[in-house]
Amino acid sequence: MPKTKKIINLQSTQDLITRMAGEGALKVIKIYERKGEDVTDEELAKKMKLKVTEVRTILNRLHYRGVACYQKSKNSKTGWYSYTWAIKKKRIAEILLEEIQENVKKLETKQQMQSNYGWFSCRAACGPMPFEIAAEYGFRCPECGKVMGMMNNTRVLKETETELGALRAEQTIIKKAL
């Protein structure tokens, strides 16, 4: 699965994993990647130099999102349960793809708003607002009271297009891996 390894190395994937389960989650996934097979929480704790409970917390957070799954086995001598964990790299890609698609929709809406409406702002740049709202305030800023003028939103449109391009490129990489 060389394509999914590329996904795990993406900054957006690392950010997603960190948001889902904290800083230690990246280490868990990297240890799993190096080992190439399922791993117990005790093994992870030893390699990460953390308490088993801390590792289990990370794994449970990943499990909640469907990224980690486990198999439970009982030791017949001690009666204790042992958990062997696996990481679903495909699920990471699916979650990331969902986030990217959501961000693309938001940026497309922003782009449409920027190109379809006249935008106004005061000299203090308190915040841009569309023509309809600016007209309701008599073209005076509701925050500072200064007169508002029409904005040139060409720069904003270019920035939005650049962001959209980057997200779509990332989206293509992830779709190929699925």
Q: Number of folded domains in the chain?
A: 2
For β-strands 81-87 and 129-130, DSSP reports them as unpaired
Residues 6+ apart with CB under 8 A from 126: 141, 143, 144
Same domain, 6 and 88: yes
pLDDT at 80 over 70: yes
Closest CA to 65 of 91, 28, 101, 33: 91
Same domain, 13 and 67: yes
Same domain, 78 and 101: no
Q: Last residue of some domain: 53, 75, 92?
A: 92
Find out whether 41 and 85 touch, Cβ atoms under 8 Å: yes
Number of H helices and number of E strands within the chain? 8, 6
**CA–CA distance, 100 with 96 (Å, rounded to integer):** 6
Report pLDDT for 175: 85
pLDDT at 4 over 80: no
Q: Report the length, in residues, of the chain.
A: 178
Closest CA to 146 of 162, 123, 118, 120: 123
Confidence of residue 6 (pLDDT cuts 50, 70, 90): low
Confidence of residue 53 (pLDDT cuts 50, 70, 90): very high
pLDDT, one tens digit per residue, over 117-161 is 888 988 887 888 889 999 999 999 988 888 998 888 888 899 999
CATH classification at residue 26: 1.10.10.10
Same domain, 76 and 106: no
Same domain, 71 and 11: yes
Closest CA to 86 of 41, 22, 27: 41
Domain that holds residue 76: 2-92
What percent of the chain is predicted at pLDDT more than 70? 97
Same domain, 138 and 122: yes
pLDDT at 69 over 70: yes
Same domain, 66 and 102: no
Same domain, 168 and 128: yes
What tokens were used for 13? 């994937």
